[in-house]
Structure 1
């Protein structure tokens, strides 16, 4: 297929093929193995040496270093604080009877959580969110917006690393700096690139899944009513949201290190392969009635968070944030409904993300 910029890529769509490809070591994430075609973001070296561009053994070394910060047990300790943040955000808009659930909840909640984890000062968090948005979907009237956003993020992270070196804290970035400076387990570019990836991925996918999930429930009032009556099913509802409306329709691009056969088709070495997670998640050969939204779906091995060694590092954190955000909205606002028709909602113009620009709602019957 051809991407919007004219680049040719190979698109893999069947569940079995996508799942196998996600774990196939012959499909490299390193741009060094690309022979042309689309290679994803163009980033400076200080942001590009991250896990999404690495294969073993470097990938293994760095993932092992940071993985301890994202264990389910450690993340669960954050749950009361994340619930507090979500409640405060909704307390702000509840008296008005109206909200934009992207601007008022889905955006600021993941930013607050991931920035708190890594040690980004509160005053800088709105800037980081705007830079990320400009990088993913730059406004059409500013062709240099993405490059300017990358430059701003680079400068910000370099300054933040210098500040944490001078005054270490108890945050993840301080621990990463110690690993760099004391144990020599990271290069300087790997340090800033890892901080960039954790901030970027920790915000980007969670905000879109929260927004997509709330919209999906609003468009399925029976499922919404059932979840309100049986809130213990929020965990399975989140898994179904991840399957039904993944935040990224395709996984990070890959490059074959040799000619490779996928689904009976030979893909030449070095060309760009995109794995269509959204298509795989609705493959009727794997899922019963895949076009139905079923929040209590029992058999749900979706691929939204990946598979194999590149499985989402922050999966426990993302699941917790999404559960809290959606569960809190469902519990607090029994009369919630869209403030506009679903057809009027605006989506981000990007094939790489399935992202609402806004989600206006009426929170109660008086609105």
Structure 2
């Protein structure tokens, strides 16, 4: 690692599964190993923003936090959003048709999921654009403690915004997700103040970042493989397997969020030491030929497809059902409404966002005709 952290990277499917499920030798909570390590990076309040949630916790804290969020972020709530997601997608495409231009990330892949999760949380529409900058600053610095220092101003602004939003919702509760989480905190006394803010932060960041990449990467994969694009258009019944294959082919999360060795152990003849960073290569695992037949080929009808784009084990992505629905609706609507999509001939080349955590495009200019 560029900051001097000793690290290990898994690239094989079986090793990725093992690392994702190993809660005995691998921890999600660096503070339990080295509290001073975090204190040297950014101030305590901002570190609490990104660390006091279920994705950065081990049992029993993880179990408690996930149970609270699961009661609020229910399948019923996600199902109720389906018609709203469809309407959001259609409205965005209406706007694209009016302008006659499409930059796939800026005009479609980003606004759809950020609008969905923000409306679920009860966040004003005008504030969505703030999250793009704040979230990107963190994602692009993730897994690098030196770079994380540069993200401090965005994390601070994010925290202050959420604290004000929680105060406002506490005074005037609604039926949104933030109000439900506040109620769980105030009535059941199971979430600390930092945990409440950090949980909402996680829902915003994780609730749109992966889906932006699913839609953008998925569209790129289809345009790069016109035979598969034609296949989907000819056989809409492939939608479910198509979305799963797009998740595997260009995994939205390249490296699973940070894990550390909680004790010394041997792995494949190598000595892993307590405190070593464990990087789980989800993208590499999803291209492992030992697990997937012809993994470099996009096959929308692929049946044997136990990909790990959403992780595995106790930290399996709670928002996976929502991301799948958004990806299905977004791409289906785009292909139906805009049948002649192609990558702009003037486009000079793909540029992926910096950072090792996510795999997402900076831009994807599209011609409509």
TM-score normalised by structure 2 residue count? 0.92
- For structure 2, list consecutive stretches of 5 or more residues without a partner in the other structure: 142-146
Q: Where do residues 142-161 of structure 1 align in structure 2 (5 Å cutoff)?
A: 146-161=151-166
Q: Where do residues 122-141 of structure 1 align in structure 2 (5 Å cutoff)?
A: 122-137=125-140
Q: Which of these residues, 227, 241, 244, is aligned with residue 239 of structure 1?
A: 244
Taking the aligned partners of 1:289 and 1:46, their CA distance within structure 2 comes to 41
Quote how far apart the aligned CAs of 1:258 are. 1.8
Taking the aligned partners of 2:220 and 2:33, their CA distance within structure 1 comes to 38
- Structure 1 residues 339 and 5 mapped into 2: Cα distance closer, same or farther (>3 Å)? farther
Partner SS, residue 182 of structure 1: helix
Q: Deviations over 1:108-129 (max 9, x none)?
A: 1111100111111112111122
- Structure 1 residues 313 and 336 mapped into 2: Cα distance closer, same or farther (>3 Å)? same
- For structure 1, list consecutive stretches of 5 or more residues without a partner in the other structure: none
Q: Deviations over 1:154-185 (max 9, x none)?
A: 11000000000110010111111111112101
Aligned residue in 2 for 1:272: 277
Partner SS, residue 11 of structure 1: strand
Quote how far apart the aligned CAs of 1:37 are. 12
Q: Which of these residues, 154, 167, 175, is aligned with residue 172 of structure 2?
A: 167
Q: Which of these residues, 293, 308, 313, is aligned with residue 303 of structure 1?
A: 308
Ranges of 4+ aligned residues in structure 1 off by more than 6 Å: 36-39
Check conservation: 1:17, 1:263, Cα contact below 8 A: no
Check conservation: 2:11, 2:280, Cα contact below 8 A: yes
- Structure 1 residues 167 and 132 mapped into 2: Cα distance closer, same or farther (>3 Å)? same
Quote how far apart the aligned CAs of 1:100 are. 0.6
Taking the aligned partners of 2:149 and 2:16, their CA distance within structure 1 comes to 34
Does residue 1:315 correspond to 2:324, yes or no? no
Taking the aligned partners of 1:263 and 1:235, their CA distance within structure 2 comes to 37
Taking the aligned partners of 2:263 and 2:322, their CA distance within structure 1 comes to 35
Quote how far apart the aligned CAs of 1:84 are. 0.3
Q: Which of these residues, 50, 53, 56, is aligned with residue 50 of structure 1?
A: 53
Does residue 1:176 correspond to 2:181, yes or no? yes
Does residue 1:17 correspond to 2:20, yes or no? no
Quote how far apart the aligned CAs of 1:33 are. 3.9
TM-score normalised by structure 1 residue count? 0.92
Taking the aligned partners of 2:245 and 2:347, their CA distance within structure 1 comes to 20
Does residue 1:106 correspond to 2:114, yes or no? no
Pairwise CA RMSD = 2.1
Quote how far apart the aligned CAs of 1:192 are. 0.5
